[in-house]
């Protein structure tokens, strides 16, 4: 890991990302591969969390097992962050979900908050922020600042693709936030889109233009 960035190296992530990047991939297939990739990203994101020991009965006897103990709140950044929610809730059905509405100005690339609805967050809560495309980091930084006010136990950011500029911006202000992603791409273009990237993730997942 470099600068708290974990690039998930899994064959199904590599394959799924190839389909997500292809502009010929239609909405139905895009959703399928997005959900699969996101499940694997969240499987990696729960590494290092707390477990509790319990004694159970198997069909053949008693044994001690470990179960995930940390309370997890997943916070997708509207709208595209919702595209990652299916993967999170399928893998972690007990998670609580908060919602943050962020709108990026296409000229300035500055994000504006228009909605905030969050479950209780305290010092025993692990927060996982989802934003499929970490570009400038503006939306993510706004959310991290707001979430940090509630003093959570731990914050992680889960992204499908990240740009070096976005990673640098996040870690400049929040050096302890781990970023879990499928790929770190080359750069941002003049419109602040990730290159080679995936395009507009929300449009491609939801079938909008």
**Predicted confidence pLDDT, tens digits, the chain (209 residues):** 446 999 999 999 999 999 999 999 999 999 999 999 999 999 999 999 999 999 999 999 999 999 999 999 999 988 888 999 999 999 999 999 999 887 766 666 666 788 899 999 999 999 999 999 999 998 899 899 999 999 999 999 999 999 999 999 999 999 999 999 999 999 999 989 999 999 999 999 999 97
Question: CA–CA separation, 105 vs 82, rounded Å?
Answer: 19
Is 58 a catalytic site residue?
Answer: no
What kind of fold does domain 5-198 have according to CATH? Rossmann fold (3.40.50)
Please give the full DSSP string across the chain, using - where no structure is assigned.
-BTTEEE---HHHHHHHHHHH-TT--HHHHHHHHHHHHHHHHHHHTTT--EEEEEEEETTEEEEEEEE-SEEEEEEEETGGGGGHHHHHHH-TT-EE-EEEEEE-TTT--EEEEEEE-----TTEEEEEE-SEESSSHHHHHHHHHHHTT--SEEEEEEEEE-HHHHHHHHHH-TT-EEEEEEE-SEE-TTS-EES--S-HHHHHHT--
- The catalytic residue among 14, 27, 108, 208 is 108
Question: CA–CA separation, 131 vs 134, rounded Å?
Answer: 6
Is 112 a catalytic site residue?
Answer: no
Is 123 a catalytic site residue?
Answer: no
Is 108 a catalytic site residue?
Answer: yes
Question: CA–CA separation, 208 vs 115, rounded Å?
Answer: 21
Boundaries of every domain in the chain: 5-198
Judged on CB neighbours under 10 Å (0-12, 13-18, 19+), 126 is buried
């Amino acid at each position: 890991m470099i600068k708290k960035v974990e690039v998930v190296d899994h064959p199904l992530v590599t394959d799924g990302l190839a389909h997500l990047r292809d502009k010929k991939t239609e909405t139905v297939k895009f959703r399928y591969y997005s959900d699969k990739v996101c499940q694997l990203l969240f499987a990696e994101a729960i590494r290092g969390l707390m477990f509790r020991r319990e004694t159970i009965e198997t069909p053949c006897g008693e044994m001690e097992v470990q179960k995930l103990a940390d309370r997890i709140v997943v916070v997708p950044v509207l709208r595209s962050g919702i595209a990652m929610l299916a993967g999170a809730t399928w893998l972690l059905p007990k998670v609580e979900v908060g919602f943050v509405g962020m709108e990026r100005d296409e000229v300035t690339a500055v994000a504006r908050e228009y909605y905030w609805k969050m479950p209780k967050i305290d010092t025993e809560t692990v927060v996982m922020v989802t934003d499929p495309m970490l570009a400038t980091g503006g939306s993510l930084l706004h959310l991290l600042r707001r979430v940090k006010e509630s003093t959570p136990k731990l914050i992680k950011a889960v992204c499908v693709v990240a740009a070096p500029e976005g990673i640098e911006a996040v870690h400049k202000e929040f050096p302890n936030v781990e970023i879990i992603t499928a790929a770190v791409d080359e750069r941002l273009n003049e419109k602040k889109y990730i290159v080679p990237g995936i395009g507009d993730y929300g449009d491609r997942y939801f079938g909008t233009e």
